[in-house]
A = this chain, B = another copy of it.
Amino acid sequence: MADREKRHLEIRGKRKKQIMSVALRLFSSEGYGHVSIAELAIHAGISKGLMYNYFDSKESLLKAIVEEGIDKIIQSFDRNRDGILTAEEFAHFIRSTFRLMEENKVYWTQFFGLIIQPNIKEFLKNSEMTGLIASYFDILGVYFKNMGFEDPMLEVFHLSVTIEGFALMMLFYNDLADIPEALFKRFEERIIHTYT
């Protein structure tokens, strides 16, 4: 009994992940509104009805995907929040952020491609991320002030804009030709160099 139940849960878990993974890819590349359940089912190799065994609706599937991504981000960034950053810590923070993105380039690119879609942005605004971002902005503001920057908030703005722009660039050019791996490294060092 416990055996059967365990297997069921395993199967459910796998299927759920599989559906979410396929959906993220399609939603990101085609746009949420342009992906039909039929298309999703074909790409996931399942029947049309099965999705509804795992998610209440198409929108609920979207929500699950977005929330999972937000959770991943929060888990990654929710450590060492004592609030004071040294130059070394700043460098480490930037490097580990890029490392995270690089390791799951496909996932994060797709995720980014998803959350910039109209109506989906709203999910973010109502999530914990808003607070998380604000607190990081504060920490960075203090750091830049301590480092002697004239206009710390402008630097915070510049840095975050740069990182978002980088993500957007990856999204745009990844379809055509991959961005050279080396660029990751050089770009990252360029940022660290500017701010330490």
- Those of A109-155 within 8 Å (CB) of chain B: 113, 116-119, 121, 125, 151, 154
Stretch at the interface among A13-21, A60-68, A73-81, A163-171: A163-171
* Integer count of this chain's copies in the complex: 4
A183 within 8 A of B: yes
Alpha-carbon gap, A131 to B130, bound state (A) = 38
* Residues in chain B near residue A121, CB distance under 8 A: 172, 175
Residues of B within 8 Å of A187, CB to CB, are 154, 157-158, 161
Q: Judge whether A6 is part of the interface by a CB distance below 8 angstroms.
A: no
Dominant SS at the A interface?
helix
Number of A residues with CB within 8 Å of any CB on chain B: 35
- A176 x B125 contact (CB < 8 A): yes
Q: Could you tell me if A160 and B169 are in contact, using CB atoms closer than 8 angstroms?
A: yes
**Contacts known (A151-B186, A154-B183, A154-B190); A118 close to B161, Cβ less than 8 A:** no
Q: Please report the C-alpha to C-alpha distance between residue A116 and residue B125 in the assembled complex, in whole angstroms.
A: 19
A186 and B158 CA atoms in complex are apart in Å by: 10
Q: Map CB proximity to B onto A22-62 as digits: 1 under 8 Å, 0 otherwise.
A: 00000011111110000000000000000000000000000
In the complex, 26 of the A-B residue pairs with CB atoms within 8 angstroms, ordered by the A residue number, are: A28-B118, A29-B118, A30-B118, A31-B31, A33-B33, A33-B34, A116-B116, A116-B168, A116-B171, A154-B186, A154-B187, A154-B190, A157-B183, A157-B187, A158-B162, A158-B187, A158-B190, A160-B165, A160-B169, A161-B162, A162-B162, A162-B165, A164-B165, A164-B168, A165-B166, A168-B168
**Given A32-B33, A116-B116, 13 additional A-B pairs, CB 8 A:** A31-B32, A31-B33, A33-B33, A113-B118, A116-B168, A116-B171, A117-B117, A151-B190, A154-B183, A154-B190, A158-B190, A160-B165, A164-B169
